[in-house]
Chains A and B, each alone.
Chain A
Amino acid sequence: MVEGIITDIQRFSIHDGPGIRTTVFLKGCNQRCFWCHNPETLSPKPELQLYLERCIACGACFERCPEGAHTLVDGEHHFDRDVCTGCGACAETCYARALVLIGETKSADEVVETVLRDRAFYETSGGGVTLSGGDPLLQPAFTEAVLSRCHEAGLHTAVETAANVPWERIEKILPVTDLVMMDIKLMDSERHREAVGVPNERILANARRLGETGKPLIVRTPVVPGINDDADTIRAIAAFAARLPNLVSYELLRFHAMATNKYDSLGMIYQAATLTAPTQEHMAALAEVARGYGIEVSHS
């Protein structure tokens, strides 16, 4: 039985590939984009989220926690994240869902069973299943198992990845993947390292190799103010994407600063909280720049 750690199974996804899809979010990412709107997917391990506004102060977590991480201080629930081991015992008793252990171990069969529930909607829309995260290729066996089972069931399968993994992991899932969606955030490796914590040589190399496979490919760029929201950066990425023979389209994804709640729940600092989303006009202008390379471009 192949298992993996997921954070969510999102149904009626319409932005993660064609048609109506179910998107499975896997835990773990080897980049650290400071604007990430899914911070709960960064760490590969289960973590505790605390939503204090939901707490009804029943005290059940105080009793259950073996590490004493939950205490009452001046009448308020205090959580010491440093001593928390992520066992999840407190979350099991938190019926108010103020404590949530994000990162659930599921078998591939369990995930596929949920995915198959929406088959009727995939059929009418040309949709299917998308594996995303985090980066699903950090759990390669689980990703392959889910994709295989879905593929066998006749579903359209897609993967969203930053492709910052050994090529062999990508190669292995291609026979059971109908569509690859990969991020290219910056062409300049040094700027890439500054923004997301890793260089981009491997990413671009994987993109070129994907280009040789013929597998339908969508390249995506999250457009982040001050990082890559200028015409020159987009031009460079578009030029690169245009040279990939299997490119279906290039998508510009508009940054939004709506992840404050998630960051707070994880005790993390949301560095992008004060950034302003690019305007629709600006996104349209960048899309027009990219179209200059003769490729299909869309923007959110």
Chain B
Amino acid sequence: MISHRSTPDPVYQRRIEALHATKKEHTDLKVKLYGHFDTDDHGYIPWTEPIPFEVIPNHPSGGCYGMACIGHNFRRWLEVHPLYIHPASSLAGAWVYKGIPGLGGFDLESGMGDPDRKKVSKPVDVSYPKSWKPEDRPTHLYELHRKYNTYSPGIGNKNHFGPDMRIGLELGWGGLLRKVRHFRELNHPPDTSFYDGEEDLILGVQTWIRRHVELAREMAAEESDPKTRQNLLDIAEVNEWLIDGAPRTFREACQFLVWAQDIDRMWALGGALGQLDELLLPYYEADIAAGRETDESIIWHLCSLFFNDPHYSQIGGQAPDGHDLTSRMSFLILEAMHRIRIPTNIALRVHEEMDQELLRRALEYMVEDGTGVDFALSGGLDEGFAKNGYPLGLARMRAKVGCNWTALPGFEYSIQDGTRLCLVTPLTLALEELLADEQAPRDMDELWRRYAEHLGIVVEAVKVGKDIHMERQADNYTEIVLNLFCHGPIERGLDAAAGGLDIIDLAFDGVGLATVADSFAAIEQRVVEEQRLTWEQLMAHLENDFADADDVRMMLHSVPRYGSGGSRADGWAERIAALWTHLVRDTPTPKGRYICIPGLFSHGGTNNYGKRLGATPNGRHAGAPVSHSADPDPGFLPGGAVALTAKANAVASTQSGWGNTTPLQVELDGKLVKSMGGIDAVMAFVMAHNRQGGTLINMNMVSKEQVLEAHEDPSTHPDLMIRVTGYSAYFNSLSREYRQPIVDRILAEN
């Protein structure tokens, strides 16, 4: 039976617990050094010693652009990059900075964070994007971006598409190097810098690995415990092979993935690993059959991989022909996640014929741990992607390998999760404009017309920026790491952003749906229909941030809200979502004719968008966070009802339907789920939202008591992990301000 739980082996369990403890120590130290993360947990280890590296620029600005310069400096960086081996891990290596100093716009002083700095993303200014040459930056667009509160227009965005790690596993670093050299010769380009840069990177990786081999042997020589010594010698042997050879065993495969994910992280904060159970299954089966590994040792290797970094990966799902991919490996990955209990970004792919035991097991672990996997739903993802003109089999191959997104491993250039537009600012502009125009009719049709116009302007501006991105990205910032793990770039000698990949669909995410839908409803009900206040009075209250008018604010806030079902606000939400979808999807970018795929997702940016917005007609105060993704705002059902199905219905009704994600955030009381029939109900809930065409469910099962205690004093629950949105993090790695909207929604739904 593939689903049986492994019996813990004390030796491996102690090692796993040691990794867990070190992860906690690292997290606490990182928070001290760099401030609260307020984003994903990343696997970099805290490093305070200076590293002797200075970039060799190729531009008067002091920057380094293009493949040749980047590759050369990347190699130099790896030659001095710190070495790390945790004696309890089966794998060597770690990364230390969220970038390479002087490369790709990364500046060490500001790039890691600052405990005293208030984390507000800057509006776009002349320094954006930092990874580009100053003369290439389309600064003529920025005034428009600032006007519309767009601080992430996606120009110069890196990574956020899925590699096919099978390429690397089959070739190894030596094979990748030979591939690069082969195609450089075959294609004989006049300018070989693309291949030179890739070659330099691989040589740098090989040097870095070699340095770890030496370190492992040194550590083994000084190690008194025989088991630990043997582990260190095994690490040396594994890595000595991997300098050139392709992985032959499960451990070697995991070690290869560590190196790949570490360079991906240090270059681009990338984080996509792929369909992990399928990648590792052949190695698992071979090792078990040969008696080289047991399930316990396999779990330890997986824990070591997760300890290195919580890269995004997927388990389960379907093969292109539709058969279910659940295997023993899927269960072992879940078990490893449960045993090490640190943030891991594993997605469980849900489809109608999925293995229900896998779903049940994921939820059982979630009940015990408070959080766990998230659920990528084929119901919405597959049909949506296929609508773009692709076979369903291709759609099934997309893996959820990012915070909110899926991508075809190695084929699809989508630049997900980095292009976000504020849906609220067009409303505030439309309202101001309407009231400044004395001739304009004061009605909802006119307000809507102006809103649609403003939203259209900012969407178009971002599309213009995307064209510029596609023209200039490869000359500035290259996908030097992911090129190696995609189908096309090395073969063609073209960067992934410049024709290396066949499928280009650029993702756009809208932010603040509930804020704007509830605002439209509040105006329609209170101003137009009930005439409890005039348009001018409304405007005055907004400008004064409802000073001395809390009753007015509550009046606006108390209209039936988006999510309550059948309300005005629900109607407005659907209308706004449909408009957004139409504006993004129905016309390509003006020059390159690239298709753009809409979704509704805010990541953790609700605070940042809100800080630059005044008060809104839904009763929101100036500077307060906007709504999260497409979720209704907390408390949307009167009387404090449990809102799960209503929320799911609401999010289902606003799915864009083209293969990008609009996630549903679910906060459950763990006690409720543990009670009679709880897990069965949650399983059915997940399957139902899949049938509704949902795309992603992010779920927590923490008690509100625990959350409140941890919010007041994070030291009371140092191990508390939370699924913030599409990613998991330690609760105490988040600032109080960042935690507040999470706490609010947990309290509202528990």
Residues of A within 8 A of B (CB): 8-12, 14-15, 18-20, 22, 56, 58, 60, 95-97, 100, 113-114, 117-118, 120-121, 123-127, 251, 298, 300
Most buried by A among B680, B689, B692: B680
Output the nearest chain A residue to B557 by Cβ-Cβ distance: A95
B179 to A: closest C-beta gap in Å: 47
B352 to A: closest C-beta gap in Å: 10
Contact of B646 among A56, A97, A117 (CB under 8 A): A117
Residues in chain A near residue B551, CB distance under 8 A? 56, 58, 60, 95-96
Number of interface residues of B (CB under 8 A): 32
Q: Which 8 A-B pairs have the closest CB atoms?
A: A125-B684, A95-B554, A58-B551, A124-B684, A12-B644, A95-B558, A124-B688, A14-B681
- 14 pairs from A and B in contact (CB 8 Å cutoff): A11-B644, A15-B677, A18-B677, A19-B677, A19-B680, A19-B684, A20-B645, A20-B688, A56-B551, A58-B550, A117-B566, A118-B649, A124-B687, A124-B688
Known: A14-B672, A95-B551. A20 touches B681 (CB 8 A): yes
Residues in chain B near residue A117, CB distance under 8 A? 565-566, 645-646, 649
Q: Is the CB of B641 within 8 A of A11?
A: yes
Residues from 647 to 678 in B contacting A, C-beta threshold 8 Å: 648-649, 672, 675-678
Q: Is the CB of A114 within 8 A of B565?
A: yes
Residues in chain A near residue B692, CB distance under 8 A? 120
Known: A56-B550, A56-B551. A118 touches B645 (CB 8 A): yes
Q: Is the CB of A11 within 8 A of B681?
A: no
Known: A95-B557, A300-B676. A20 touches B685 (CB 8 A): yes
Output the nearest chain A residue to B526 by Cβ-Cβ distance: A95
B21 at the interface (CB under 8 A from A): no
B10 at the interface (CB under 8 A from A): no
Residues in chain B near residue A125, CB distance under 8 A? 680-681, 684-685, 688
CB-defined interface of B547-575 with A at 8 Å, one 1/0 digit per residue? 00011001101100000011000000000
B542 to A: closest C-beta gap in Å: 17
Q: Is the CB of B641 within 8 A of A8?
A: yes
A284 to B: closest C-beta gap in Å: 13
Output the nearest chain A residue to B692 by Cβ-Cβ distance: A120
B680 to A: closest C-beta gap in Å: 7
Contact of B685 among A15, A113, A121, A298 (CB under 8 A): A121
Residues in chain A near residue B689, CB distance under 8 A? 120
Output the nearest chain A residue to B675 by Cβ-Cβ distance: A300
B639 at the interface (CB under 8 A from A): yes
B39 to A: closest C-beta gap in Å: 31
* Bound-state Cα–Cα, A56 to B619, Å: 15
Residues in chain B near residue A126, CB distance under 8 A? 684
Residues from 685 to 727 in B contacting A, C-beta threshold 8 Å: 685, 687-689, 691-692
Residues in chain A near residue B646, CB distance under 8 A? 11, 117-118
Contact of A124 among B550, B672, B676, B691 (CB under 8 A): B691
Q: Is the CB of A127 within 8 A of B641?
A: no
Residues in chain A near residue B557, CB distance under 8 A? 95
Other 6 A-B pairs with CB < 8 A, given A19-B680, A56-B550, A117-B645? A9-B641, A14-B676, A96-B558, A117-B646, A121-B685, A124-B687
Q: Is the CB of B643 within 8 A of A11?
A: yes
Known: A56-B551, A95-B557, A300-B675. A10 touches B685 (CB 8 A): no
Q: Is the CB of B684 within 8 A of A11?
A: no
* Bound-state Cα–Cα, A19 to B682, Å: 10
B590 at the interface (CB under 8 A from A): no
* Bound-state Cα–Cα, A19 to B689, Å: 15
Residues in chain A near residue B189, CB distance under 8 A? none
* Bound-state Cα–Cα, A120 to B688, Å: 6
Output the nearest chain A residue to B551 by Cβ-Cβ distance: A58
Q: Is the CB of A11 within 8 A of B645?
A: yes
Output the nearest chain B residue to A298 by Cβ-Cβ distance: B676
Q: Is the CB of A12 within 8 A of B676?
A: no
Q: Is the CB of A121 within 8 A of B638?
A: no
Residues in chain B near residue A56, CB distance under 8 A? 550-551, 554
B518 to A: closest C-beta gap in Å: 14
Output the nearest chain A residue to B673 by Cβ-Cβ distance: A14
Residues in chain A near residue B687, CB distance under 8 A? 124
* Bound-state Cα–Cα, A12 to B643, Å: 7
Residues in chain A near residue B648, CB distance under 8 A? 121
Output the nearest chain A residue to B550 by Cβ-Cβ distance: A56
Output the nearest chain B residue to A251 by Cβ-Cβ distance: B676
* Bound-state Cα–Cα, A129 to B638, Å: 20
Most buried by B among A11, A127, A251: A11
* Bound-state Cα–Cα, A300 to B566, Å: 34
Most buried by B among A100, A124, A127: A124
Residues in chain A near residue B566, CB distance under 8 A? 113-114, 117
Residues in chain A near residue B641, CB distance under 8 A? 8-11
Output the nearest chain A residue to B555 by Cβ-Cβ distance: A95
B470 at the interface (CB under 8 A from A): no
Q: Is the CB of A20 within 8 A of B676?
A: no
* Bound-state Cα–Cα, A239 to B645, Å: 38
A227 to B: closest C-beta gap in Å: 22
Residues in chain A near residue B691, CB distance under 8 A? 120, 123-124
B642 at the interface (CB under 8 A from A): yes
Residues in chain B near residue A114, CB distance under 8 A? 565-566
Residues in chain B near residue A8, CB distance under 8 A? 639, 641
Output the nearest chain A residue to B648 by Cβ-Cβ distance: A121
Contact of A127 among B672, B676, B684 (CB under 8 A): B684
Contact of B684 among A95, A121, A300 (CB under 8 A): A121
Q: Is the CB of A12 within 8 A of B554?
A: no
Output the nearest chain A residue to B691 by Cβ-Cβ distance: A120
Q: Is the CB of B645 within 8 A of A12?
A: yes
* Bound-state Cα–Cα, A22 to B688, Å: 15
Most buried by A among B551, B639, B645, B685: B645
* Bound-state Cα–Cα, A10 to B639, Å: 10
A297 to B: closest C-beta gap in Å: 11
Residues in chain B near residue A11, CB distance under 8 A? 641-646
Output the nearest chain A residue to B552 by Cβ-Cβ distance: A95
Q: Is the CB of A123 within 8 A of B688?
A: yes
Most buried by B among A20, A100, A126: A20
* Bound-state Cα–Cα, A251 to B692, Å: 33
Q: Is the CB of A15 within 8 A of B675?
A: yes
* Bound-state Cα–Cα, A114 to B554, Å: 25
Residues in chain B near residue A60, CB distance under 8 A? 551
* Bound-state Cα–Cα, A252 to B215, Å: 62
* Bound-state Cα–Cα, A126 to B680, Å: 10
* Bound-state Cα–Cα, A22 to B678, Å: 15
Output the nearest chain A residue to B619 by Cβ-Cβ distance: A95
Residues in chain B near residue A120, CB distance under 8 A? 649, 688-689, 691-692
Residues in chain A near residue B555, CB distance under 8 A? 95
Q: Is the CB of B638 within 8 A of A97?
A: yes
Output the nearest chain B residue to A254 by Cβ-Cβ distance: B675
Most buried by A among B555, B638, B689: B555
* Bound-state Cα–Cα, A160 to B378, Å: 37
Output the nearest chain A residue to B556 by Cβ-Cβ distance: A95
Residues from 230 to 278 in B contacting A, C-beta threshold 8 Å: none
Residues in chain A near residue B675, CB distance under 8 A? 14-15, 300
Q: Is the CB of B642 within 8 A of A12?
A: yes
Residues in chain A near residue B554, CB distance under 8 A? 56, 58, 95-96
Residues in chain A near residue B550, CB distance under 8 A? 56, 58
A103 to B: closest C-beta gap in Å: 12
A155 to B: closest C-beta gap in Å: 14
Residues in chain A near residue B565, CB distance under 8 A? 114, 117
* Bound-state Cα–Cα, A68 to B427, Å: 42
Known: A14-B677, A18-B677, A300-B676. A121 touches B688 (CB 8 A): yes
* Bound-state Cα–Cα, A164 to B435, Å: 62
* Bound-state Cα–Cα, A230 to B388, Å: 65
Residues in chain A near residue B558, CB distance under 8 A? 95-97
